[in-house]
Chain A
Amino acid sequence: MIDKYTWYEKIGIYLGIFVFLTFVLSPFVEGFLVSLKPLQQLFSSPYSFWPKEGSFDAYFRIWQTVPFLWLYILNGIFIATVATFFGLFMIVPAAYALARIEFRGRGTMLSAFLMINMFSGAVLLIPLYRLMRATGLLNTYFAMIVPGTAFILGTGIWLLRAYMLRIPKELEEAAFADGASRFYTFRRVVLPLAMPGILIAGINCFLTVYAQQFIYALTFNSKSEYMPLSVGLFAFFGRQEVAWNELMAASIVGITPVMIVFFFLQKYLVAGLTAGAVKS
C-alpha cells in the first residue's frame, strides 16, 4: 500500500471486519453452542447465550438417534466427488475450445453454457423427475449425481476458460511451429499449465454440488442408503419436538470434512481467482 492508515482508520477497518464476520459466522457459533447445551436449557426462558453445564453428550448420542448418520455424511461427499470428476471430464475440453480456438458459434456456445444456470435447481425438477423415472435412476446415487453434474458445467467452463485465457498464446504457437498437432498441444502444453485452473474449477464444482444437493435428494430419492446429510438431517425432527442440540451436533460433524478440505485448498481457490487476474 502506498500510504499508511491512521489509527482511527485502522480501528474503523477492524470494527467493520468484526461486524461483517459476526454476521457471517454467528449461525455457526450459535450452532456449536447449541450442540453443547442440554435440551432443558434450550427450552427454557430467558435465553442464555453460553451453555450452562455444557457437555459433548449430543455428539455421542447422535450416532444412536440416527444410525445412518455416518453413511449420510459419506453419501454427500461421494455424490459431490463423482459429479466433480464427471463434470471436469466435460469442462476441461470445452473450456479449452472456448478459450483457445476461434470458430463460428463460439459466442453462442459461451452464452448457452451460461444459460444453464438459469434453469438450475427447482425449475427443471418436474421434467428431470420424469427423466429419472423413465431411465430407472430414481432412488439411486445417479439421481443426485446426474443433475448435480449438469448444473456445474456452466460455471465450471466459464471459470476454467477465464483461467486458460491467461496462459500465454506464444507457448502454443511455438509448439505448432514445431509441427505438433492441436491435440498434442492441448494435452502436453496447455493442460499442465492449466492445472491450477482445473483445480479451482474442481473445488468449485465439489463445493457447489455438496452445498446444493438438497433439492435433488429430497425429490429424486427416498431411500436412506443413498441420502446425503442435508436431507438425512430431517431424521432429527421428532414427532413432538426437534432435538436441536443433536441436530446441531450432527451439523457440526457434517460440516467438518468440507471445512478441512476447504482450509487446505482455500489458498489455491482464492489465489487462483485473484492472482491470475492481476497478471493480465
Chain B
Amino acid sequence: MNVSRSAAIFAWMLLAPALIYVIAIVAYPLVDAFLLSFTDTALKKTVNWVGWENYIKIFKSGFEIIILRTMVWTFFSVSIKMIIGVLGATLLNAAVPGRALFRVLTMPPWIVPMAIGIFMWGWMYNGQFGMISGLLQRFGLVDGPVAFLAYGSTAFWATIFTDVWIGVPLVTLYMLAATQSIPKDLYEAAWVDGASRLYRLRRITLPLITPSLITISMISLISTFNSFDIIWILTRGGPSGETTTMIIDTYKTAFGSYKYGEGSARVVLVGICLSIFCFFYFRIVNKLSATQER
C-alpha cells in the first residue's frame, strides 16, 4: 500500500517538468484561443466580446468548402503515403545486397529542413523551365509547358504529391521496423508447411503489421491535416484559393489580415475537426483490433 503510494508520488514528480511545460505552452494557449474566438481581437487596442459572430461570419464565407477540401487533401495524401510506404518497406526488407545503403537513402526528405525540400519542388513544378514540365515535353506527353502551380486542379495534386514525398520516409522506416519485428520462426514454420511467399505475405506479414500501420497512419493523418509549410511555400493557398486548407485559411486570417479573433474561431474548428477524426478513428481501430484477436 505504502510502497505504491510513494511510487505514484515519484511518478508524478518525474512527469512534472513535461506536464507543466505542456500546460503552459499547449493547454493554456488552447484555452486562450477558445476565449479569443468569441472576441473581435485585432491589431486595435479595444477588444469586444462578440459571442458567436466570428463563427457565423466563417460559415457565411463558404467555410464548408474549405473543410471539405481539407478532408479530401488529407485523405489522398495519407492514403498515398501509406501505399508507397508499405511498398517501400517491403522492397527494402528484401534480402538483396545493398539494402542497408538503400534504407539510408530513403531518409533525406524527412531529415532536411522541410522548407528546403519544398523549394526544390517549387522549382521542379516551375511551368516554363521546371524539370517535370520539361521532361513531359521531351517525352512528348504534353505539347507545351505545364504550369502546375498556376491551375487549381494541378496545384492541388502538386501539393499533395510534395506532402507524400515528405511523409513517405517515416512511414517506410516505421513499417520496416514493424516487418522486422515479426518473429522469424513464424515464416519458417509456414515455409516448412509449404506456404508460398504470397500466402506468407497475406497471412503472416500483413495481419501482423496492421497495428503499426494503424498507428503510423494516425500520426500521419494528424500531421497532414496540420500541414502548413508545403502549401504556403508552393502556392500560398492559391490559385484563387483552390489549395486553401483550414490551416492556411487560419493563417491568412490571423497573420495576413491581423484578425486574431476570427482566426481563433477557425483554430477552434480545426480542433473540433481533428477531435472528431481521432474519435472515429479510435473506434474503428478498436473494432479492428477486436476482430484481429479472434
Which residue from A30, A94, A147 sits with its C-beta under 8 Å from B123?
A: A30
- Size of the B side of the interface (Cβ < 8 Å), in residues, is 99
Whether B36 contacts A126 by the Cβ 8 Å rule is yes
Known: A2-B187, A104-B8, A122-B228. A153 touches B30 (CB 8 A): no
- Say if the beta carbon of A1 comes within 8 Å of chain B: yes
B105 with A126: CB separation less than 8 A: no
Q: Are A121 and B33 in contact (CB under 8 A)?
A: no
Shortest CB-to-CB span from A104 to chain B, Å, is 7
Q: Is B2 an interface residue (CB 8 A)?
A: no
With a CB–CB cut-off of 8 A, which chain B residues contact A219?
A: 255
Instruction: Give the one of B19, B115, B135, B168 with max A CB within 10 A.
Output: B115
Instruction: State whether the Cβ of B107 lies closer than 8 Å to any Cβ in chain A.
Output: yes
Determine if B115 and A214 form an interchain contact, defined as CB atoms under 8 angstroms apart: yes
User: B29: which of A44, A48, A90, A131 is its contact (CB, 8 Å)?
Assistant: A131
Minimum distance in angstroms from A217 CB to a CB of chain B: 9
**B173 pairs with A270, CB closer than 8 A:** yes
Known: A10-B96, A122-B247, A266-B104. A97 touches B15 (CB 8 A): yes
A16 at the interface (CB under 8 A from B): yes
Complex alpha-carbon distance, A184 and B135, angstroms: 63
Instruction: Report whether B22 and A153 are in contact in the complex, using a CB–CB cutoff of 8 Å.
Output: yes
CB <8 Å contact, B108 and A25: yes
Q: Is B32 an interface residue (CB 8 A)?
A: yes
How near does chain A come to B190, taking the closest CB pair, in angstroms?
9
CA separation between A34 and B188, bound complex, in Å? Answer: 49
Besides the contacts A91-B18, A109-B15, A146-B25, what 4 more A-B pairs have beta carbons closer than 8 Å?
A: A123-B226, A127-B264, A270-B104, A278-B180
**B17 at interface by CB-CB < 8 Å:** yes
Could you give, for residues 100-134 of chain A, a 1 whenever the CB lies within 8 Å of some chain B CB and a 0 otherwise?
Answer: 01111010010011001111111111111111000
A interface vs B, CB < 8 Å? 1-3, 5, 10, 13-14, 16-17, 20-21, 23-28, 30-31, 34, 42-49, 76, 89-91, 93-94, 96-98, 101-104, 106, 109, 112-113, 116-131, 146-147, 149-150, 153, 157, 182-183, 186, 207, 210-215, 219, 228-231, 233, 244, 247-248, 251, 254-255, 258-259, 262-263, 266, 270, 273-274, 277-278, 280
Q: Which residues of A contact B114 (CB under 8 A)?
A: 211-212, 214, 230
Q: Is B54 located at the chain interface by the 8 A CB criterion?
A: no
Given known pairs A17-B102, A183-B10, A278-B180, the reply for A124 and B124 (CB within 8 Å) is no
B103 touches A122 (CB 8 A): no
Question: Distance (Å) between the CB of A63 and the closest chain B CB?
Answer: 17
Given A24-B169, A113-B18, answer yes or no on A43-B129 (Cβ-Cβ < 8 Å). Answer: yes
Do A24 and B168 touch across chains, with their CB atoms under 8 A apart? Answer: yes
| Closest chain A CB from B122 CB (angstroms) | 9
Complex alpha-carbon distance, A97 and B105, angstroms: 36
Residues of B within 8 Å of A25, CB to CB, are: 105, 108
Chain A residues near B150 (CB-CB < 8 A) = none
Let me know if B112 is at the binding interface, CB within 8 A. yes
Specify which chain A residues have a CB less than 8 angstroms from the CB of B7 in the assembled complex: 101-103, 182
Contact check, A116 vs B26: say whether CB atoms are below 8 A apart.
Answer: yes
A128 and B116 contact, Cβ closer than 8 Å, known pairs A2-B187, A5-B94: no
Q: Which 9 A-B residue pairings sit nearest by Cβ, starting from the closest?
A: A47-B134, A127-B29, A230-B115, A277-B181, A93-B14, A103-B8, A97-B14, A27-B120, A90-B18
